[in-house]
Amino acid sequence: MAINGIQFQKGLSVAQFMKEYGTEEQCQAALMRARWPRGFECPRCSHGEAFEFDRRGRHHWQCKACKYQCTLRAGTIMEHSLLPLTKWYLAIYLMTQSKTNIAALAMMRQLGISWKAAWLLKHKLMEVMAQREADRPLEGDVRVDDAYLGGERTGGGPGRGSKNKVAFVAAVEMREGRPQRLRFDPVANFSFAALGPWAKKAIAPGSCVTSDGLLGFEVLERLNYQHRVVQAPRGKAGTEIEPFKWLNVVLGNLKTALSGTHHAFSFAKYARRYLAEVQYRFNRRSDMASMIPRMAHAVTRTRPCPARSILGRSGLET
Protein backbone atom coordinates (compact mmCIF):
# COMPACT_ATOMS: atom_id res chain seq x y z
CA MET A 1 0.00 0.00 0.00
CA ALA A 2 1.30 3.46 -0.83
CA ILE A 3 2.56 5.67 1.95
CA ASN A 4 -0.09 8.23 2.64
CA GLY A 5 -1.04 10.98 5.01
CA ILE A 6 -3.48 8.85 6.96
CA GLN A 7 -0.92 6.22 7.90
CA PHE A 8 1.72 8.76 8.86
CA GLN A 9 -0.38 11.24 10.78
CA LYS A 10 0.91 11.91 14.25
CA GLY A 11 -2.13 11.09 16.33
CA LEU A 12 -1.73 12.08 19.96
CA SER A 13 1.59 11.23 21.63
CA VAL A 14 1.59 9.68 25.09
CA ALA A 15 3.32 12.81 26.40
CA GLN A 16 0.66 15.08 24.91
CA PHE A 17 -2.10 12.81 26.17
CA MET A 18 -0.73 12.89 29.74
CA LYS A 19 -0.44 16.67 29.54
CA GLU A 20 -4.09 17.00 28.56
CA TYR A 21 -5.69 14.12 30.46
CA GLY A 22 -3.23 13.27 33.24
CA THR A 23 -5.31 14.31 36.25
CA GLU A 24 -8.84 13.60 37.46
CA GLU A 25 -9.63 17.34 37.29
CA GLN A 26 -8.55 17.55 33.65
CA CYS A 27 -10.61 14.49 32.73
CA GLN A 28 -13.59 15.84 34.63
CA ALA A 29 -13.36 19.14 32.72
CA ALA A 30 -12.94 17.27 29.41
CA LEU A 31 -15.94 15.05 30.13
CA MET A 32 -17.96 18.11 31.12
CA ARG A 33 -17.19 19.66 27.70
CA ALA A 34 -18.09 16.37 26.03
CA ARG A 35 -21.44 16.02 27.80
CA TRP A 36 -22.49 19.66 28.09
CA PRO A 37 -20.59 21.65 25.45
CA ARG A 38 -22.65 24.78 26.20
CA GLY A 39 -22.49 24.36 29.98
CA PHE A 40 -24.75 22.36 32.30
CA GLU A 41 -28.01 21.16 30.84
CA CYS A 42 -30.48 19.37 33.12
CA PRO A 43 -30.97 15.79 31.88
CA ARG A 44 -34.62 15.96 32.94
CA CYS A 45 -35.86 19.43 31.93
CA SER A 46 -32.96 20.87 29.88
CA HIS A 47 -32.70 23.91 32.16
CA GLY A 48 -29.23 25.51 32.04
CA GLU A 49 -28.61 26.54 35.65
CA ALA A 50 -27.69 24.42 38.65
CA PHE A 51 -26.35 24.50 42.19
CA GLU A 52 -23.14 22.51 42.48
CA PHE A 53 -21.88 20.53 45.47
CA ASP A 54 -19.67 17.57 46.32
CA ARG A 55 -21.03 14.46 47.99
CA ARG A 56 -19.19 11.22 48.68
CA GLY A 57 -16.29 12.28 46.50
CA ARG A 58 -18.44 13.03 43.45
CA HIS A 59 -19.37 16.41 42.07
CA HIS A 60 -23.14 16.92 41.82
CA TRP A 61 -25.40 19.33 39.99
CA GLN A 62 -28.89 20.23 41.23
CA CYS A 63 -31.11 21.79 38.59
CA LYS A 64 -32.40 25.20 39.70
CA ALA A 65 -35.70 24.64 37.90
CA CYS A 66 -36.76 21.06 38.71
CA LYS A 67 -34.32 20.27 41.54
CA TYR A 68 -33.12 17.09 39.80
CA GLN A 69 -29.72 16.01 41.10
CA CYS A 70 -27.15 14.31 38.93
CA THR A 71 -23.46 13.63 38.48
CA LEU A 72 -21.47 13.91 35.29
CA ARG A 73 -21.70 10.15 34.82
CA ALA A 74 -25.39 9.68 35.66
CA GLY A 75 -27.51 8.37 32.81
CA THR A 76 -24.43 7.35 30.79
CA ILE A 77 -22.59 4.07 30.34
CA MET A 78 -20.15 5.33 33.02
CA GLU A 79 -22.88 5.47 35.65
CA HIS A 80 -22.08 2.25 37.51
CA SER A 81 -18.32 2.43 37.14
CA LEU A 82 -16.16 3.09 40.20
CA LEU A 83 -13.04 3.67 38.11
CA PRO A 84 -11.52 7.17 38.09
CA LEU A 85 -12.03 9.18 34.91
CA THR A 86 -8.28 9.06 34.25
CA LYS A 87 -8.62 5.29 33.70
CA TRP A 88 -11.58 5.77 31.35
CA TYR A 89 -9.66 8.33 29.32
CA LEU A 90 -6.51 6.21 29.23
CA ALA A 91 -8.60 3.27 27.97
CA ILE A 92 -10.11 5.50 25.28
CA TYR A 93 -6.61 6.60 24.33
CA LEU A 94 -5.34 3.02 24.07
CA MET A 95 -8.34 1.88 22.04
CA THR A 96 -8.38 4.75 19.56
CA GLN A 97 -4.72 5.53 18.90
CA SER A 98 -3.57 2.05 17.93
CA LYS A 99 -4.09 0.12 14.71
CA THR A 100 -4.87 -3.10 16.51
CA ASN A 101 -7.47 -4.00 19.11
CA ILE A 102 -6.03 -4.01 22.59
CA ALA A 103 -6.55 -7.14 24.69
CA ALA A 104 -8.16 -6.84 28.11
CA LEU A 105 -4.97 -8.29 29.56
CA ALA A 106 -2.86 -5.50 28.08
CA MET A 107 -5.37 -2.96 29.31
CA MET A 108 -5.20 -4.46 32.80
CA ARG A 109 -1.43 -3.93 32.85
CA GLN A 110 -1.46 -0.47 31.30
CA LEU A 111 -4.20 0.84 33.59
CA GLY A 112 -3.12 -0.96 36.75
CA ILE A 113 -6.60 -2.37 37.40
CA SER A 114 -7.95 -5.90 37.82
CA TRP A 115 -8.47 -8.09 34.79
CA LYS A 116 -12.22 -8.15 35.32
CA ALA A 117 -12.40 -4.36 35.62
CA ALA A 118 -10.27 -4.03 32.47
CA TRP A 119 -12.45 -6.51 30.59
CA LEU A 120 -15.66 -4.70 31.56
CA LEU A 121 -14.23 -1.28 30.74
CA LYS A 122 -13.04 -2.47 27.34
CA HIS A 123 -16.37 -4.09 26.53
CA LYS A 124 -18.32 -1.01 27.63
CA LEU A 125 -16.20 1.14 25.31
CA MET A 126 -16.62 -1.38 22.49
CA GLU A 127 -20.38 -1.27 23.12
CA VAL A 128 -20.27 2.53 22.74
CA MET A 129 -18.47 2.08 19.42
CA ALA A 130 -20.96 -0.57 18.27
CA GLN A 131 -23.98 1.60 19.09
CA ARG A 132 -22.35 4.61 17.44
CA GLU A 133 -21.73 2.69 14.23
CA ALA A 134 -25.00 0.75 14.09
CA ASP A 135 -27.13 3.31 12.28
CA ARG A 136 -24.64 4.67 9.81
CA PRO A 137 -25.37 3.02 6.47
CA LEU A 138 -22.84 3.07 3.66
CA GLU A 139 -23.89 4.81 0.45
CA GLY A 140 -22.99 5.26 -3.20
CA ASP A 141 -20.48 2.75 -4.57
CA VAL A 142 -20.45 -0.12 -2.07
CA ARG A 143 -18.50 -3.39 -2.42
CA VAL A 144 -19.62 -6.36 -0.33
CA ASP A 145 -18.39 -9.83 0.46
CA ASP A 146 -19.25 -12.72 2.74
CA ALA A 147 -16.60 -13.48 5.35
CA TYR A 148 -15.91 -15.60 8.41
CA LEU A 149 -13.85 -15.08 11.50
CA GLY A 150 -12.84 -17.24 14.41
CA GLY A 151 -13.21 -20.97 14.64
CA GLU A 152 -9.52 -21.46 13.97
CA ARG A 153 -8.90 -22.96 17.39
CA THR A 154 -7.35 -26.37 17.06
CA GLY A 155 -7.07 -29.25 19.48
CA GLY A 156 -10.60 -28.93 20.78
CA GLY A 157 -13.38 -31.41 20.45
CA PRO A 158 -15.10 -31.99 17.15
CA GLY A 159 -17.25 -29.10 16.00
CA ARG A 160 -15.74 -26.65 18.43
CA GLY A 161 -14.18 -24.60 15.69
CA SER A 162 -17.37 -24.23 13.73
CA LYS A 163 -19.31 -23.31 16.86
CA ASN A 164 -17.10 -20.27 17.29
CA LYS A 165 -17.08 -19.34 13.65
CA VAL A 166 -18.80 -16.05 12.96
CA ALA A 167 -20.34 -15.20 9.61
CA PHE A 168 -20.32 -11.52 8.76
CA VAL A 169 -20.74 -9.24 5.80
CA ALA A 170 -17.78 -6.98 5.02
CA ALA A 171 -18.73 -3.86 3.09
CA VAL A 172 -16.65 -0.92 1.89
CA GLU A 173 -17.89 2.40 0.53
CA MET A 174 -15.64 3.60 -2.30
CA ARG A 175 -15.11 7.10 -3.62
CA GLU A 176 -12.67 7.99 -6.40
CA GLY A 177 -10.92 4.68 -6.08
CA ARG A 178 -10.33 4.97 -2.33
CA PRO A 179 -12.17 3.33 0.57
CA GLN A 180 -14.16 5.83 2.61
CA ARG A 181 -15.99 3.90 5.31
CA LEU A 182 -16.58 0.28 6.10
CA ARG A 183 -18.98 -1.95 7.96
CA PHE A 184 -18.59 -5.40 9.43
CA ASP A 185 -21.99 -6.86 10.32
CA PRO A 186 -22.35 -10.33 11.86
CA VAL A 187 -25.19 -12.29 10.24
CA ALA A 188 -26.72 -15.66 11.09
CA ASN A 189 -25.91 -16.89 7.58
CA PHE A 190 -25.99 -15.64 3.98
CA SER A 191 -29.61 -16.45 3.19
CA PHE A 192 -32.17 -13.96 1.84
CA ALA A 193 -33.80 -13.97 5.27
CA ALA A 194 -30.59 -12.86 6.96
CA LEU A 195 -29.25 -10.53 4.26
CA GLY A 196 -32.48 -8.59 3.70
CA PRO A 197 -32.54 -6.98 7.16
CA TRP A 198 -28.75 -6.51 6.95
CA ALA A 199 -29.02 -4.58 3.66
CA LYS A 200 -31.75 -2.27 4.96
CA LYS A 201 -29.64 -1.41 7.99
CA ALA A 202 -26.20 -1.25 6.35
CA ILE A 203 -26.74 0.27 2.90
CA ALA A 204 -28.55 3.49 2.03
CA PRO A 205 -31.34 3.29 -0.61
CA GLY A 206 -30.19 4.07 -4.14
CA SER A 207 -26.66 2.73 -3.61
CA CYS A 208 -24.89 0.61 -6.22
CA VAL A 209 -23.68 -2.59 -4.58
CA THR A 210 -21.04 -4.84 -6.12
CA SER A 211 -20.82 -8.48 -5.06
CA ASP A 212 -19.29 -11.65 -6.45
CA GLY A 213 -22.73 -13.07 -7.12
CA LEU A 214 -23.22 -15.09 -3.95
CA LEU A 215 -26.83 -16.23 -4.13
CA GLY A 216 -27.95 -14.44 -0.96
CA PHE A 217 -26.88 -11.06 -2.32
CA GLU A 218 -29.59 -11.31 -4.99
CA VAL A 219 -31.86 -10.02 -2.25
CA LEU A 220 -30.34 -6.61 -3.06
CA GLU A 221 -32.25 -6.54 -6.36
CA ARG A 222 -35.51 -7.35 -4.61
CA LEU A 223 -34.87 -4.42 -2.31
CA ASN A 224 -34.33 -2.10 -5.30
CA TYR A 225 -30.63 -1.50 -4.93
CA GLN A 226 -28.52 -1.48 -8.08
CA HIS A 227 -26.66 -4.78 -7.90
CA ARG A 228 -23.54 -5.37 -9.98
CA VAL A 229 -22.10 -8.87 -10.03
CA VAL A 230 -18.41 -9.27 -10.83
CA GLN A 231 -17.03 -12.78 -10.82
CA ALA A 232 -13.37 -13.69 -10.90
CA PRO A 233 -12.11 -15.36 -14.04
CA ARG A 234 -11.24 -19.03 -13.75
CA GLY A 235 -8.10 -19.60 -11.68
CA LYS A 236 -8.33 -16.31 -9.80
CA ALA A 237 -9.68 -15.78 -6.32
CA GLY A 238 -12.52 -13.30 -6.01
CA THR A 239 -10.41 -11.28 -3.62
CA GLU A 240 -7.75 -10.70 -6.29
CA ILE A 241 -9.91 -8.84 -8.75
CA GLU A 242 -10.19 -5.08 -8.82
CA PRO A 243 -13.65 -4.37 -7.39
CA PHE A 244 -12.75 -6.31 -4.25
CA LYS A 245 -9.13 -5.24 -3.85
CA TRP A 246 -9.77 -2.80 -1.01
CA LEU A 247 -12.26 -5.11 0.62
CA ASN A 248 -9.50 -7.69 0.70
CA VAL A 249 -7.07 -5.19 2.23
CA VAL A 250 -9.47 -4.24 5.02
CA LEU A 251 -10.23 -7.89 5.75
CA GLY A 252 -6.49 -8.54 6.03
CA ASN A 253 -6.16 -5.56 8.38
CA LEU A 254 -9.09 -6.85 10.41
CA LYS A 255 -7.40 -10.19 10.99
CA THR A 256 -4.21 -8.41 12.07
CA ALA A 257 -6.16 -6.06 14.35
CA LEU A 258 -7.88 -8.95 16.09
CA SER A 259 -5.02 -11.40 16.34
CA GLY A 260 -4.04 -11.99 19.93
CA THR A 261 -6.80 -9.84 21.40
CA HIS A 262 -9.25 -12.61 22.02
CA HIS A 263 -9.53 -16.32 22.42
CA ALA A 264 -11.60 -18.26 19.95
CA PHE A 265 -13.96 -19.22 22.78
CA SER A 266 -15.41 -15.80 23.40
CA PHE A 267 -15.18 -14.51 19.88
CA ALA A 268 -18.53 -15.73 18.63
CA LYS A 269 -20.32 -14.29 21.63
CA TYR A 270 -18.80 -10.83 21.41
CA ALA A 271 -18.02 -10.61 17.68
CA ARG A 272 -20.33 -7.65 17.15
CA ARG A 273 -18.23 -5.56 19.54
CA TYR A 274 -14.83 -6.77 18.34
CA LEU A 275 -15.79 -5.97 14.76
CA ALA A 276 -17.25 -2.60 15.76
CA GLU A 277 -13.97 -1.55 17.38
CA VAL A 278 -12.09 -2.05 14.11
CA GLN A 279 -14.90 -0.41 12.14
CA TYR A 280 -15.06 2.61 14.47
CA ARG A 281 -11.33 3.27 14.20
CA PHE A 282 -11.21 2.80 10.44
CA ASN A 283 -14.11 5.17 9.84
CA ARG A 284 -12.37 7.90 11.82
CA ARG A 285 -8.80 7.18 10.79
CA SER A 286 -8.29 10.50 8.99
CA ASP A 287 -8.24 12.39 12.29
CA MET A 288 -6.88 10.23 15.07
CA ALA A 289 -6.32 12.97 17.63
CA SER A 290 -9.97 14.06 17.51
CA MET A 291 -11.10 10.51 18.28
CA ILE A 292 -10.60 11.06 22.03
CA PRO A 293 -13.05 13.96 22.47
CA ARG A 294 -15.42 12.34 19.95
CA MET A 295 -15.34 9.03 21.78
CA ALA A 296 -15.86 10.81 25.12
CA HIS A 297 -18.88 12.54 23.59
CA ALA A 298 -20.22 9.16 22.43
CA VAL A 299 -19.69 7.73 25.95
CA THR A 300 -21.88 10.49 27.43
CA ARG A 301 -24.60 9.71 24.84
CA THR A 302 -24.69 5.96 25.55
CA ARG A 303 -27.21 4.79 28.13
CA PRO A 304 -26.09 2.76 31.17
CA CYS A 305 -25.37 -0.90 30.41
CA PRO A 306 -25.55 -3.14 33.48
CA ALA A 307 -22.69 -5.63 33.76
CA ARG A 308 -25.00 -8.55 32.99
CA SER A 309 -25.94 -7.12 29.60
CA ILE A 310 -22.28 -6.49 28.82
CA LEU A 311 -21.34 -10.02 29.90
CA GLY A 312 -24.14 -11.73 28.00
CA ARG A 313 -26.49 -14.43 29.10
CA SER A 314 -24.06 -17.04 30.33
CA GLY A 315 -21.74 -14.66 32.13
CA LEU A 316 -18.12 -13.81 31.53
CA GLU A 317 -16.33 -16.03 29.06
CA THR A 318 -12.78 -15.56 28.02
Residues that bind Zn ion (CB under 5 A): 42, 44-45, 47, 63, 65-66, 68
Q: How far is the CB of 51 from Zn ion (least distance, A)?
A: 11
When the beta carbons of 47 and 285 are compared against Zn ion, the nearer one is 47
- Based on CB atoms, which residue is closest to Zn ion, 47 or 228? 47
Measured from the Cβ of residue 112, the count of other Cβ atoms closer than 10 Å reads 9
> Measured between alpha carbons, how far is 17 from 13 in angstroms, rounded to an integer?
6
**Please, which residue, 70 or 103, has the CB nearer to Zn ion?**
70
Shortest Å distance, C-beta 67 to Zn ion:
7
Task: Please give the Cα distance from 261 to 305 (Å, whole number).
Answer: 22
Side by side, which strands form the sheet with 50-55?
A: 50-55, 58-63, 69-71
Please list the alpha-helical segments (H only) found in the chain: 5-8, 14-21, 24-35, 85-96, 104-111, 115-134, 160-164, 192-202, 219-222, 245-258, 264-283, 291-300, 307-311
Question: Least distance to Zn ion from the beta carbon of 55, Å?
Answer: 18
Least Å distance between CB 43 and Zn ion?
Answer: 8
Q: Which is nearer to Zn ion, 47 or 245 (CB)?
A: 47
Bridge partner list, 208: 141, 226
Nearer to Zn ion, 47 or 272 (CB): 47
Task: State the minimum distance, in angstroms, from the CB of residue 218 to Zn ion.
Answer: 53
Asked whether the beta carbons of 99 and 257 are under 8 A apart, the reply is yes
